Structure 1
Amino acid sequence: MCNCIFSIFNKLTHLRFSESSYENYVPLLFDFPSRRFSSSSLLVLNIKIQHFSQLLYVLDGRFSQLHTLIVDLINNVLSTDLIENKEKISNLKCFVLSCAWEISRYKDLLLPLIYRMSNIEKLSLYLTIYINDKFIDRNDLKKNIINHLPQLSMFTFDIRSLMFINNQMNLPSKKDIEETFRDFRYTKIISYVDYFLEKKMGQCHVFSYPSEMPYYQNITNNFPGGLYEYVRFISLYDEYPFEHEFFIKISQSFPFMEKLSLINYQSQKHKQSYELINDNYNSTIVKYNYLITLDIEKVHDDYIEEFLFNTKTYFHDNILIYINYKSLERVTHNFTRDVTRINCAKINKIFLFGEKNHSNSLQDYFPCATIY
């Protein structure tokens, strides 16, 4: 299909070659593309691709007039088997690159590609990057990106750098990172730092605000809040408990989220009583008006209560849920509990993990659900 597009539409100037959903993509059916996949008229290309090598093919000169390229990379493997091309990409004025998954080889593969864009004026990078010894801050961005792009007038980014911790001393704080962005001229910057002792991992998240990213991952208790109207997928992770107030902040910050994934094995320390929530129902209930998919497989039982108690959470019908069977059985009191019944009736697909010896009451408790 992709090789025929420009033969059929030989004066095409703008092409969006992707589905509207943040999760789906239109596959490019090539590893080594035909020269027919080229155009001398195309100016703007918005595309989702499987592999970094396909991005290099798109930029090998086959689109000689291209000035705006928006790419969502859905595979985090940056192959070493890449085409050799060091020619300048002089026509490109705007480049947007995003990837929902963690990537490595930022300096030896991504940066050389950006350096070829000698006349770039607008650059947006939305990436999660493994680094060795130093978080990505303003100093890193200035040294490795800004100083190499003399025409750059707009630079927006959402960069989460991940670093393994092995008894390092003087690890940077949120304040240290913020200090490097003082007087940053391109945009307002928000930053925060987390250290996960169990995983021996640190993360530093720096991003332009407001952000246009469709996903926001590894949100912790240090999340500063704000409004993120473009975000459709979020993931929550921490080694400290998420309290009910945290979920109120999340629902308000991401009003259009469609998918939520949660990992947290710590019990809540300030659980609101069932009676207290009932007395103050309207102000404490968390509303997810656009939620479609909920992944709460790897959580403490408190978070299953958080989402299945209709006195704590409201969502619409037709929810897909991933959950551990034994946890679900405990929280619903072997599928008899009234306070979880209303939200369970809104679920239309359940993917159960763990024990497969299901209770006979399971299907009755989820009357609208297909159970896998």
Structure 2
Amino acid sequence: MELHINLENSNDCLYLLDGRFNKLRVLYVNIGFIFPTSAMIGNKEELPNLRCFSLTCQLEQNYYDELIIPLLHRMPNLESISLYLAHDHIHRFIDGNDLKKNIINHMPRLNKFLFNIRSIISLNDQISLLSNNDIQQTFSNFTGNQIISCVNYFPKMKRGQCHIYSYPYTLNYYHNITNNFPGGLFKRVREISLYDEHPFEYEFFIEIAQAFPSLRKLSLSNRKGQKLKNSKMNYPLIEYPHLNDLELIDIHKDYVELFLDNTKTLLSDNLCLSVEYRPLRKVTNNFKKDTMRFNCAKVVQLMIPAKFKISQRFKAYFPHVKISQFY
């Protein structure tokens, strides 16, 4: 018996695995969010017939030790497992040692393990912080797929992030990409988010465009202005041929300029753009700058988190747009 299902929360998953489907051998679950319940904590009955299990939850949660691991321990005969999770506020990064101790060593029949796990910790004046090389070393005995790791620390937010995943990449999204992006080719990915406390320079966006050729949605958050903005180097045009949803909220104006200036970036038609009004007005020189008219004319939906007066000059700059103001 095989089942592919989308569930609202982890409680629904527990009801599904309470014994009523005891012949289930293959289960793919996409969960909206995970939270603790008495059912999950108390139900320890094994699921011996389950051979393949996939669990996906995009939202950050902090119940890895309390809920995820006990659930997996009920599946001792798994031959294939896929975990796509994000964990917030845990006291450690999830690395190869953790996966071996808590998962692999409990599944003697396991021969395929795919994962994409982002773990986030709080920085509380730790004396020693793990490097990316430290994390990579914990996967030295892993066989099969290549394992990629990427470690970042954000002093202002007082957070650290460790992203580990098996490669080739199997998901259609890739979140919280930083300047330490390890590279690669991600043909399946349609949605990405970019964040860092250091500036994203021009070359970074060239790499992103090449790494994600099928990209449809891009969200960017970065308050640091570009240091190499006025570089005299002749960079190639940045192209996003399939991008139809661009979010430029909580950013420095340099990135609004980079994406809208058609001498730097070529955007696709029928674009939905989310952007703050003040940097938009500033980089377009109050909607008079010619090098941005071409890309702005491609915008069909404009979402701005502020109330502002729509001038005739604004309408001419965005001739095809439907405006949504939210504040």
Distance (whole Å) between structure 1 residues aligned to residue 237 and residue 146 of structure 2: 32
Distance 2:106 2:135 in 1: 22
RMSD: 1.6
Q: 1:284 to 1:184 in 2, by over 3 A?
A: same
Whether 1:92 aligns to 2:44 is no
Partner amino acid, structure 2, of 1:78? F
Out of 44, 52, 74, the position equivalent to 2:10 is 52
| 1:255-274 to 2 correspondences below 5 Å | 255-272=213-230
SS of 1:340's equivalent in the other structure is helix
> Distance between the aligned counterparts of 2:278 and 2:307, measured in 1?
7
Instruction: State the percentage of identical aligned residues.
Output: 47
Quote how far apart the aligned CAs of 1:358 are: 3.4
> 1:312 is matched with which residue?
264
Cα offsets for 1:129-152 (capped at 9, x unmatched): 125332111111111111111111
Does the CA-based 8 Å contact 1:156-1:186 persist in structure 2?
Answer: no
1:179 corresponding residue in structure 2: 137
Distance 1:307 1:61 in 2: 53
Counterpart of 1:112, as a letter, is: P
- Equivalent in the alignment of 1:118: 76
Is the 8 Å Cα contact of residues 326 and 355 (structure 1) preserved in structure 2?
no
The aligned amino acid for 2:113 is F
Structure 2: tracts of 5 or more residues without a match: none
Asked whether 1:147 is paired with 2:101, we answer no
Aligned to 1:30: none
Q: Which residue of 1 aligns with 2:173?
A: 215
Letter in 1 for 2:111: S
1:336 — aligned with what? Answer: 288
Deviation at 1:186, TM superposition (A): 3.7
Q: Which residue of 2 aligns with 1:292?
A: 244
- Establish whether residue 72 from structure 1 lines up as the match of residue 30 from structure 2: yes
1:252 counterpart residue number:
210
Q: Which residue of 1 aligns with 2:310?
A: 358
Runs of 4+ in 1 over 4 A off after TM superposition: none
Normalised to the residue count of structure 1, the TM-score between the two structures is 0.83
Q: Partner amino acid for 2:183?
A: G
Contact kept in structure 2, 1:326 and 1:354, CA below 8 Å: no
User: Is 1:82 the equivalent of 2:39?
Assistant: yes
Aligned to 2:114: 156
TM (norm. structure 2) is 0.94
In 1: Cα distance, 2:314 partner to 2:36 partner = 46
CA distance, structure 1, for counterparts of residue 102 and residue 24 of structure 2? 25
Specify every segment of 5 or more residues in structure 1 that has no aligned partner in the other structure, as ranges.
1-42
Distance 2:191 2:124 in 1: 31
Q: Is residue 132 of structure 1 aligned with residue 106 of structure 2? A: no
Residue 310 of structure 2 aligns to which amino acid in structure 1?
H
User: How far does residue 272 in structure 1 lie from its aligned partner after superposition?
Assistant: 4.5
Contact in 1 for aligned 2:31/2:56 (Cα 8 Å): yes
CA distance in 2 between partners of 1:194 and 1:56 (Å): 34
Structure 2 CA distance for aligned equivalents of residues 158 and 74 of structure 1: 16
- Letter of the aligned partner of 1:284 in structure 2? P
Aligned length: 323
Give the drift of 1:361. 1.9
Alignment partner, residue 238 of structure 1? 196
2: CA distance between counterparts of 1:158 and 1:125?
Answer: 6
Taking the TM superposition and a 5 Å limit, the aligned residue runs for 1:16-27 are none
